[in-house]
Amino acid sequence: MNEADPRRGSASAEDVAAGAGVSPSTVSRCFASPDQVRPETRRKVLAAAERLGYRPNRIARSLALGRTGTLGLIVPDIANPFFAVIVKAVQARARRKDYAVFLADTDEHPDDEYELALTLARQVDGLLLVAPRMTGDRLGEVVRQVPSVAVNRSVAGVPSVVAPSEDGLRQAVAHLHALGHRHLALVLGARNSWSSEQRGHAVRFAAEQLRVKVTEFGPHEPKFHTGAQVADLALAAGATAIVAHNDLMALGVLSRLADRGVRVPDDVSVVGADDTLLATTATPALTTVRIPLDALGERAVDLMLHRLDDPGHPPQEVALDSELIVRRSTGPAPRKDA
């Protein structure tokens, strides 16, 4: 027998069986139901498979396990760099685990999100719901129909991966306070957004502790144009620093301030959140709260696969850390006599 080229992955189960000295049915059981194969035999089969570059047929293996080999991934806005990074991380992690991913974009519409979730629930092994906007009742209906993991939203009774921004935003408020700012504008994100609620609470709490005034604007769609709209309102309110819900809105703020000839950070300081690629390419570079976006996606896939393998395990919530990254968009508050 000629050994197959591992780079081509063209070896068959019969090739592996011959190489390991077992029957083709033993090879199939080794990959579909490894617990039914003796450890010594399994090691021989896996060694032969590795040597020959054999990859078990995904469809056949999925049928043996009673699964589709696919996951559904629903995001609010694929054009937002925050979600784009998570999508890439999910797809890469799932691919390594030999799962395909069906992606759906709701464009920040909770009704569409709910309908898409119900549709995908009938077609996939599990759903990854990134920053879901739907109500708790609707979310509960979805998770009763299909194993689900929530990303960037804490949901009771549902496995979830969150990156609470409280620490990073408290650091941001303390940073601005140390620079002499005593009046902040807080730009909130989308209505029904868990992260917007958490971030708003963190800024309010830190500001209260430091006796810093906060003027709030929103909720708003977390997009570039809404940040530009709020910039004028923040200036009119007399704030010397603006804390935006995310980097995209913060860039909208920077753009509008530049149009008006307002200098950043000499006249007004600006802080974003998420630390997407946009933060480093902005002019000036954006001070922001870093969220580990890659880790959010990767841990979500891991939680999902663990749930599929062990449905009876209690739901787990994984919390990742955030931190303030100081760049050029923040500086000392302007002097009143300047």
pLDDT in tens, the chain (338 residues): 444 444 445 678 888 889 999 988 888 777 766 777 888 898 898 888 888 888 766 555 554 555 678 999 999 999 899 999 999 999 999 998 888 999 999 988 999 999 999 999 989 999 999 999 999 899 999 999 999 999 999 988 899 999 888 899 999 999 999 999 999 999 999 988 888 999 999 999 999 999 999 999 999 999 999 999 999 999 999 999 999 999 999 999 999 999 999 999 999 999 999 999 999 999 999 999 999 999 999 999 999 999 988 888 899 999 999 999 999 999 999 987 54
Helix axes 166-178 and 194-210, enclosed angle (nearest 10):
40
Q: Which domains does the chain have, with CATH numbers?
A: 13-64 (1.10.260.40), 70-163+293-321 (3.40.50.2300), 166-291 (3.40.50.2300)
Structure confidence at residue 163 (pLDDT): 86
Burial per residue of 136-156, b for 16 or more beta-carbon CB atoms within 10 angstroms, e otherwise: eebbeebbeebbbbbbbbebe
Cβ–Cβ under 8 Å, residues 11 and 4: yes
CA geometry: angle at 258 spanning 255 and 262, to 5°? 130
Could you give the count of Cα atoms lying within 13 Å of 303 in the half-sphere of its Cβ?
26
Determine the Cα–Cα distance for residues 252 and 233; give it in Å rounded to an integer.
Answer: 13
Determine the Cα–Cα distance for residues 304 and 191; give it in Å rounded to an integer.
Answer: 27
Cβ–Cβ under 8 Å, residues 305 and 161: no
Query: Which of 297, 285, 265 lies closest to 325, judged by CA?
Result: 285
Determine the Cα–Cα distance for residues 178 and 299; give it in Å rounded to an integer.
Answer: 35
Structure confidence at residue 191 (pLDDT): 87
Structure confidence at residue 156 (pLDDT): 87
Could you give the count of Cα atoms lying within 13 Å of 68 in the half-sphere of its Cβ?
15
